[in-house]
Amino acid sequence: MNRNTIKAFTLLASLGGVFVLVGWAIGSQVGALVGLLAGLAIVGASYWFSDRLAVRLARAKPVSAAEVPGLGGLVSELTSRSGMSMPRLYLSPAAQPNAFATGRDEAHAALVVTRGLLAILPEDQLRAVLAHELSHVRNHDILIGSVAAALATAITYAANIAVFTSVFGGSEDGEDGMGIFGFLLLALLAPVAATLLQLALSRAREFEADRSGASLLGDGEPLARALETIDVAARKTPMDVSPAQASAYIVNPLTGRQVSFARLFMTHPSTSDRVARLRALHLSSRPVS
C-alpha cells in the first residue's frame, strides 16, 4: 500500500473518530452510536463517491474518445506509452482552460477537461497537460486528493448551512445569539476544512506530477508554456468552483479572484516556480509524434 493510500485511510478513520467523539459528547453511548453510524456513512460516501462529487461540481458530462477525437486520441496515446488503463473522460462546459483527474485508483480514474482547455491550447501543450494529470493517476495522488476535497467540501457546506440556519432560524429579536454563533462556526470550520486539505495534500505532488508528465514526453517546455497560458487565462476568465475542489485542478481556478477563505485552501505552488523547475529539467529527448 503506497503512502498516499495510507494517508487517505488515516484521514477517513480520523474523521470517523471525530463523529464518534462528538456524538459521545452530545449524548453519551447513544450519541456515540449515532456518531459512529453517521461517520461510517460519510466516510464510505467520501471513499466511493468522491470522484462523482468532483465531476458533478464541475458540471462535467461523460464523453467517449470518438466524440472528442482530439482529446481521446491523445489520452489513448499517453496511456499506451505509460502502460496505464484508459480513464473515463469528462468534458466541463467551463470557458476557463483547466483540467483535473479524480477517482480512487487507476481502474476507477476519471479525467476532466474544460472546453476552454480544448479551445485555447495547441496540441503539444494539451498533450503535456494530459500527461501531468495522468501522472497524478500513476503516482496514486488521486485517492487522497479526491477524499480530502470531498471531506473539505462537506465540512464547508455544513458550516454554510449552520450560518444560514442561525441567520434565518433564530428568534425575531435576534437575542438568542445564534447569528453570531453561526458565523463563529463558519470561521472555525472553514480553516479546519482547509487544514485537512493542506495536511493531506502536498505541493510536492504537483512538482512531481509536472516532472513525471514532462519525463513521459521527454520535454518540459510544452507543459511550462501550458501552465503559463492557463495561469493568465485563469486570471481573466472566472470559474464557479468551490475552494475545496480548486486543489484538484492543474492550475488553481480561483487565481485572481476574491473568494471567501479561498487563500486558506491554496495547495498549489506558484506557477512561476513550477515553470522554472520544468525549464531546469534535463530530460532525454523523446520526440512525440
| Residues 122, 87 contacting (CB under 8 angstroms) | no
Residue 154, C-alpha cell as written in the block: 462537506
Judging by beta carbons within 10 Å of its beta carbon (0-12, 13-18, 19+), is residue 69 exposed, middle or buried? Answer: exposed
What one-letter code names the amino acid at 205?
R
- How far is it, in rounded angstroms, from Cα 183 to Cα 135? 40
Residue 181, C-alpha cell as written in the block: 454563533
Which of 67, 123, 133, 208 is an active site residue?
Answer: 133
Residue 119, C-alpha cell as written in the block: 479551445
Q: Do the strands 99-102 and 88-92 form a parallel or antiparallel pair, or are they unpaired?
A: unpaired
- How far is it, in rounded angstroms, from Cα 275 to Cα 227? 7
Largest CA distance in the chain: 72
What's 172's DSSP letter?
A: T
- How far is it, in rounded angstroms, from Cα 77 to Cα 66? 14
| Residues 138, 215 contacting (CB under 8 angstroms) | no
Judging by beta carbons within 10 Å of its beta carbon (0-12, 13-18, 19+), is residue 280 exposed, middle or buried? Answer: exposed
- How far is it, in rounded angstroms, from Cα 65 to Cα 35? 44
Picking from 213, 200, 214, 209, the residue whose alpha carbon sits closest to that of residue 267 is 200
Phi, psi for 212 (deg, rounded to 5): -65, -40
Active site residue 77: no
Residue 224, C-alpha cell as written in the block: 511550462
- Active site amino acids: 133
